[in-house]
Amino acid sequence: MSTTPDAPEPRSAVRSLLRLWPYVRPVRARLFTAAFIAIVASCIGLVIPLVLKWMVDGPVADRDPAGVWLGALYLLLLGLAEALLFGLRRWLVARPLSRVEAEMRADLYRHLQRLPIAFHDRWPSGQLLSRATTDLMLLRMFLAFPLTFLLVNGVTIVVGVVIMLVQDWTLGLVVLVPAVPVLLTCVVFEKKYSGAARRAQDQVGDLTTVVEESVLGIRIIKGFGRHRSQARAFRELSGKLRGTELHKARLLATILGVIVTLPELAIGAALVLGAVRVADGSLSAGTLVAFLSTALALRWPVDSIGFLLAMSQEAATATERYFEVMDAEPESGTKSGTKSGTESGTRSGTESGTRSGTESRKGGAGSGGPAARGASADGLRFENVSFRYPDAPAGSPPVLDRIDLHIRPGESLALVGATGSGKTTLTALVPRLHEVTLGRITLDGADITGMSRRELRSRVAVAFEEPTLFSASVEENVLMGGGDGTEDLERALGVAQAGFVHALPQGVHTQVGEQGLSLSGGQRQRLALARAVVGRPGFLVLDDPLSALDVHTEAAVEAALRRVLADTTALIVAHRPSTVLLADRVALLSGGRITAVGTHHELLRTSPEYAHLMSGDPAGEQEDQR
Ligand SMILES: Nc1ncnc2c1ncn2[C@@H]1O[C@H](COP(=O)(O)OP(=O)(O)OP(=O)(O)O)[C@@H](O)[C@H]1O
């Protein structure tokens, strides 16, 4: 079973390949020149039999050594010209085609970055990797070779057949007899091979996914001794791929058998017939030599049709696979209007309390802080927000159901709920990693769907429980969150209690991430937190950011975070009382709804579910609530 989602209806190979035109257009002059040069080179090859005919019927028959030497010189010059022209063709196409491949890869990468999280949730990474590597390599090979040579060989065959018919039309017709069965075989082959090529390329993607998962999950595999089951999964997939490749090889062998055998038989028949006519004196020996040399010169153009068609079919499949990703809708930018079921300005029914208290402790805010926002400050609002994952089964209840929540400017609100209650989903809606299904979210009164992604993401910083670091230096990883220099970097490292980086071999310039120094879970989490706070964001979304820290480090981070949170409107997913205490208020998420809002102590008193969750009593966990 293929794991390629969104596979469209298959289309003809030519229609698929025509989609490459925008990429090929800029290099079309070189490609056409190269094809023209190859046609000239190939036709020069067809002049050689004519020189042979002249030699056999002239200098050889007249026993004229000087004429034979002259003929040999002509042959040498023709051979040299043919070789030089083919070399020139290759030189002409090499550079532009590697540029086409690089541009297609860059476009794919750019597009992948812009595709919504929902797309990445659905597509296995191996399918994307194989499109960016194997498929693009197949396309470059197609543009360099089959595209030109299907044309060159076609022209060469036509010119060669005309030359043979002119030499002797009866022998020419004998050689032409296999044309019809060969053409029919090509049509049948194309149909069958296209299905096999698609299967094989999808299976390469599946195999890439398994290899990638095995490498990323090597600790789990080793820790649980799952080598065998993982190896079995790998063997099964590679066995399937092998089966498909063998099927392709059988199809190719069949077409090659037909394409090679029938013309050879026809040439043999023409040879016998020609020899009889030379003996009769009705045909010159030179004509027979020229005829057979031309027929033999056409062997390669005819024999190559099979694998040129196969490579073209693989390229058509690669094009389809490439555009399946490129056709996926990127994240929408701004929207006019909202999907809201609420009216703008609707206020939450669950919001409670007044602004005093939280606003009183706002100090010198950063660029996006409440002080900078002045009178328009309204904080973060969820208005009647519902959300359902796009791939959720039909009829299943939404993960979030009519959420109304107001986090006032400079306020920090902790979001508490049982495992799977939708906390991460709720936080992901703020930076628009997912789009709300209904309702709207506003920052300082402005609907987030009306902002550009760039603006939204410059105002909202996020840190997730699973801290991802990139293969780059500590400094680069942290400054990815904004900020512009050593001062911001040091401040952020201070807030996140990440002073340990100064003890690394090259300090903040030490490479970390997948290809760098391995850091502990807590160290990674602190760098991710530094990244979230470095740009002094106006809005901060933290998804259980302290879960991997020991109690002492957690207390130190919390003390520093408290200073940051004084300037920031924050939504913090929390599982532990210590994290909850960072916040001014707490909201309880249960059954997809906000069921209670208040201070930690208020909720401890009034909400048994909250009290259970905070007590660490497993009975309080309402796993899989819905
Ligand atoms: N990409 C997805 N597609 C479909 N359903 C999803 C997806 N991600 C999460 N869910 C479902 O949405 C629900 C809420 O998940 P979410 O991760 O938001 O919970 P959570 O409260 O953050 O849990 P935890 O405390 O364990 O991190 C779960 O039932 C989960 O199975």
Q: Assign 93 a pLDDT band (cuts: 50, 70, 90).
A: confident
Query: Ligand 1: distance of its center to the CA of 5 in Å?
Result: 21
Q: Residue 473 carries which DSSP code?
A: E
Q: Is the CB of 420 under 6 A from ligand 1?
A: yes
Q: Which residues contact 567 (CB under 8 A, 6 or more apart)?
A: 362, 363, 364, 365, 366, 369, 370, 371, 410, 536
Cβ burial, residue 213 (10 Å; 0-12/13-18/19+): middle
pLDDT of res. 335: 52
State the average pLDDT over residues 415-436.
90
C-alpha to C-alpha distance for 539 and 88, rounded to whole angstroms: 60
What are the residue ranges of helices labelled H in 534-569? 551-565
At residue 298, what is the residue type? L
Counting from 1 in the atom list of ligand 1, the atom nearest the Cα of 428 is 18
pLDDT of res. 558: 74
Judge contact between 190 and 196, C-beta under 8 A. no
State the average pLDDT over residues 495-510.
87
State the DSSP H helix or E strand holding residue 613, giving kind and residue range, or none if neither: helix 608-615
State the average pLDDT over residues 33-60.
86
Judge contact between 250 and 196, C-beta under 8 A. no
pLDDT per position as a tens digit, 248-295: 999 989 988 888 899 889 989 999 999 999 898 888 888 888 888 888
pLDDT of res. 517: 60
State the DSSP H helix or E strand holding residue 511, giving kind and residue range, or none if neither: strand 511-512
CA dist list (Å): 595 to 71, 134, 447: 98, 51, 24
Query: Ligand 1: distance of its center to the CA of 419 in Å?
Result: 8
Which amino acid residue places its CA nearest to atom 25 of ligand 1?
419
pLDDT of res. 344: 36
Q: What is the largest CA-CA distance in the chain?
A: 120
pLDDT per position as a tens digit, 111-149: 998 888 888 888 888 889 889 988 999 998 898 888 888
Domains of the chain plus CATH, in order, are 23-326 (1.20.1560.10), 411-424+452-620 (3.40.50.300)
Judge contact between 418 and 620, C-beta under 8 A. yes
pLDDT of res. 345: 36
Evaluate the CA torsion angle 70, 73, 77, 82 in order and state its sign. Answer: positive
Pocket test for ligand 1, best of 396, 399, 626 (most atoms within 8 A of CB): 399
Q: What is the mean pLDDT of the chain?
A: 82
Q: Is the CB of 422 under 6 A from ligand 1?
A: yes
Judge contact between 10 and 320, C-beta under 8 A. yes
Selection from 95, 110, 111, 104 nearest residue 137 by Cα: 104
Out of 328-332, 367-371, 396-400, 510-514, which region has the weakest mean confidence (pLDDT)? 367-371
Query: Ligand 1: distance of its center to the CA of 426 in Å?
Result: 10
Which amino acid residue places its CA nearest to atom 29 of ligand 1?
420
* Partners of 570 in the β-ladder: 412, 540
Q: Which residues contact 590 (CB under 8 A, 6 or more apart)?
A: 417, 418, 421, 609, 622, 625
Which amino acid residue places its CA nearest to atom 14 of ligand 1?
422
Both tokens of 384, joined, read 């009647």
C-alpha to C-alpha distance for 591 and 622, rounded to whole angstroms: 9
- Mind giving me the DSSP string for 223-245? HTT-HHHHHHHHHHHHHHHHHHH
Which amino acid residue places its CA nearest to atom 31 of ligand 1?
420
ipTM, 2 dp? 0.95
Tokens 């706070």 correspond to 533
Q: Is the CB of 392 under 6 A from ligand 1?
A: yes
State the DSSP H helix or E strand holding residue 279, giving kind and residue range, or none if neither: helix 227-280
pLDDT beyond 70 at 625: no
Selection from 355, 367, 539, 519 nearest residue 446 by Cα: 539
C-alpha to C-alpha distance for 524 and 521, rounded to whole angstroms: 5
Query: Ligand 1: distance of its center to the CA of 219 in Å?
Result: 24
Q: Assign 376 a pLDDT band (cuts: 50, 70, 90).
A: low
Selection from 407, 459, 391, 470 nearest residue 431 by Cα: 459
Pocket test for ligand 1, best of 123, 396, 424 (most atoms within 8 A of CB): 424
Contacts for 552-561: CB closer than 8 Å, 24+ residues apart: 553/497, 553/522, 553/526, 554/578, 554/579, 556/497, 557/495, 557/496, 557/497, 557/526, 557/529, 558/582, 560/494, 560/495, 560/496, 560/497, 561/495, 561/529, 561/533
Query: Ligand 1: distance of its center to the CA of 616 in Å?
Result: 20
Helix, coil or strand: residue 386: strand
C-alpha to C-alpha distance for 202 and 305, rounded to whole angstroms: 25
Q: Is the CB of 424 under 6 A from ligand 1?
A: yes
